[in-house]
Amino acid sequence: MKYHRIFAHAVLFAVALTGCNPSNPSAKVRDAGAVKTDVPTKKAMLRVIEQPATIEAFEETPLVAHISGYLKKVNVDIGKLVAGPCYDAKGQLTKAGEILAELAVPEMLSELEQKQALVTQARAQVDQSTASLDAAEAHVLTAKALVREATASCARADANVERWKSELVRVEKAVKDGVLDRQIREETLFQYKSADASRNEVEAKVQSAQAMATESEAKHAKAKADVAAAKAHVLVAGAEEARLKALVEYRYIRAPFDGVVTRRNIHTGHFLQSNASGGPGVLFVVARTDKLRIIAEVPESDATYITENSKPKIHVPALKGEPFEGVVARTSRTLDPKSRTLRVEIDHVNSANKLRPGMFANLVFTVDLGERYTLPVSAIFTHADQPCCWRVVEGKAVRTPLKLGVRDGQMVEVVKLQSGGAAWQAVSGDEQVVVTNLGAVSEGKEVRVEKK
C-alpha cells in the first residue's frame, strides 16, 4: 500500500512538470499569474455621432385676417399647390401671390371711393389756387407799372411847375419895369398855379399806385400760401387714400410664397375679425416643400465636433433605401440652456419630392480625429468611479488614473494619465501597460510579464 502511494505522488509530480496533457511531455507550463503588456499606440480615430432628426418645411407661414369682414369666397383647400409673388431683378413686385380667399368689405370700398373723391377735390383746389396766384402775379405787375407811370408823370409835373414859376418871375419883373401889362402877369400866375395843382394830383396818383402795388403783393403772398395749403391737402388726402387702399387690399388672403396649403380653418360665410382685434386666429397654413430643413439636436458632448459644412449621412427609415449625403447649412452656435443641445439644420432640395415635412430621419456624422494614443478596452478598469490601467514600473504594478476620449471598436483613446497623485500629464507612448489578466495584478505587486 505504501508503495502505491509513493508511485501516485510521483505520477502527479511528473504531470505537474510536463503540463496537464501527460501525452505531450514537451508542453510548457503556463503561469497563471503572468500578464501581457503593451504601450499606447497611435491610431487614426473616428468619432461616429448618430442623432435622430425631423424633417420640416423650409418655410411655413400661418395666414391671418388683417381686416374684419364676411368670407366671400374660398379658392383653395388642403393639398393645393399655390403660387407666391414674383419680383424683378430690382426687387419690384411684378405679380402678386395667388388669392386663397376673399372677404366682402362693401363699407370699406365705399369709404375708399370717398377718399379718392377727396383727393380729386384737393387737386382741383390746387389748380384753382394756382390760377389765383397767376392772377395775383399779374396784378402785382400792373400795379408796379402804374407806380412807374405815376412817378414819371410826377417828374413831368415838377418840371412844368418849375417852368411856370420861372416864367412868372420873369413876367413880374417885366410888369414892374412897365414892359408888359398886368394882364399877362395874371395869365402867367394862373398857369403856374395850374401846373402846381397838376403836380399835387400826380403825387396823389403815385401814392395810390404804390398802395395798390402793396395790396397786390399782399394778395400775391396769400395766393401763394393758398397754393401751398392746397398741395398739402392733396398730400393728406392722398396719404389717407393710400392707407385705406392698403387696408382694402387685405380683403385678399394671398399666398406668401410657392408652396402647398397644409391647413384650412375657414368656410364661406364666416365672419372674420382682424387678428389684432382678437380674431379667430389662423385661416390657412402654407408650407414650402420644394426645399426642406432637416433638424437635429446634438448633445453637448458632441456639439464641438459639428460645424457648418459638416457632411452627415442621412437615413430616412420610411424610404428604406440608400442613405444620402447632406451638408450642415447652419447651427444655433449656442446650446439650449434647458436641454444642453445644439440645433443643427441641413437644407435639402426636395427635387424628387420624396421627403415630406414631419418625417423622421437619422443623421450619422463621421468625424476624423486624426491620430490619437490608444489602449485596448481590455486594459481599462474602474476604480472609485475613475478609469484606470495598470502600469508596470520597475517590475511592479502601479494603478494609474486615466482621462479617456473616444472609443473605436476595441480601442479607446487615452487623453492624459496621472502618476502617483501628481498633476495630469500627456501620454508619452513609452508606458508599459498591462493588457491581459488584470485580475492577477494589484497595487505594488511584482508583475510577471509573459514572454512574447
Please determine, for residue 185, whether its predicted confidence score (pLDDT) is greater than 60.
Answer: yes
pLDDT tens-digit series, residues 248-297: 999 999 999 999 999 999 999 999 888 665 556 799 999 999 999 999 99
What mean pLDDT comes out for the span 13-25? 38
pLDDT tens-digit series, residues 203-260: 777 777 788 888 888 888 888 888 899 889 999 999 999 999 999 999 999 999 999 9
Please determine, for residue 13, whether its predicted confidence score (pLDDT) is greater than 80.
Answer: no
pLDDT tens-digit series, residues 391-434: 999 999 999 999 998 888 789 999 999 987 788 999 999 999 99
Only one residue has cell 460645424, namely 307
Task: Tell me the CATH number for domain 285-367.
Answer: 2.40.30.170
What mean pLDDT comes out for the span 325-336? 95
Q: Does domain 108-248 have CATH number 3.90.1300.10?
A: no
Strands 448-449 and 34-35: parallel
Check residues 4 and 373 and name the one with the higher pLDDT.
Answer: 373
Asked if residues 427 and 372 have their Cβ atoms less than 8 Å apart, the reply is no
Cell of 19: 503540463
Picking from 412, 414, 417, 425, the residue whose alpha carbon sits closest to that of residue 400 is: 417
Cα of 259 vs its chain's centroid, Å: 21
pLDDT at 97 (0 to 100): 94
Q: Give the CA count within 13 Å in the CB-facing half-sphere of 47.
A: 16
Cell of 289: 416643400
pLDDT at 392 (0 to 100): 93
CA distance 10 to 2: 13
Break the chain into its structural domains and give their ranges.
Answer: 1-30, 31-44+372-449, 66-103+252-277, 108-248, 285-367
82's enclosing H/E stretch is strand 81-82
What mean pLDDT comes out for the span 377-403? 94
Residue 383 banded pLDDT, cuts 50, 70, 90: very high
Residue 198 banded pLDDT, cuts 50, 70, 90: confident
The CB density around residue 5, as the number of other CB atoms within 10 Å, is 9
Asked if residues 297 and 51 have their Cβ atoms less than 8 Å apart, the reply is yes
Question: Could you name the CATH architecture of 66-103+252-277?
Answer: Beta Barrel (2.40)
CA distance 219 to 340: 78
Residue 23 banded pLDDT, cuts 50, 70, 90: very low
pLDDT at 407 (0 to 100): 86
Please determine, for residue 22, whether its predicted confidence score (pLDDT) is greater than 60.
Answer: no
Task: Tell me the CATH number for domain 31-44+372-449.
Answer: 2.40.420.20
pLDDT at 401 (0 to 100): 95
Residue 2 banded pLDDT, cuts 50, 70, 90: very low
Cell of 244: 385705406
Least confidently predicted of 109-118, 136-145, 282-291, 383-392: 136-145
CA distance 402 to 416: 6
Provide φ and ψ at 51, rounded to 5°.
-135, 140
Check residues 179 and 263 and name the one with the higher pLDDT.
Answer: 263
pLDDT at 85 (0 to 100): 93
When the pLDDT of each residue in the chain is averaged and rounded to a whole number, the result is 85
Q: Where are the beta strands (DSSP E) in 350-380?
A: 360-376
Please determine, for residue 26, whether its predicted confidence score (pLDDT) is greater than 80.
Answer: no
Q: What angle do CA 439, 441, 445 make, to 5 degrees?
A: 155
Residues 6+ apart with CB under 8 A from 155: none
pLDDT at 141 (0 to 100): 85
CA distance 70 to 268: 8
Picking from 80, 383, 118, the residue whose alpha carbon sits closest to that of residue 242 is: 118
Q: With pLDDT > 70 as the criterion, what percentage of the chain qualifies?
A: 90
CA distance 65 to 102: 10
Residue 33 banded pLDDT, cuts 50, 70, 90: confident
What mean pLDDT comes out for the span 102-116? 92
pLDDT at 31 (0 to 100): 53
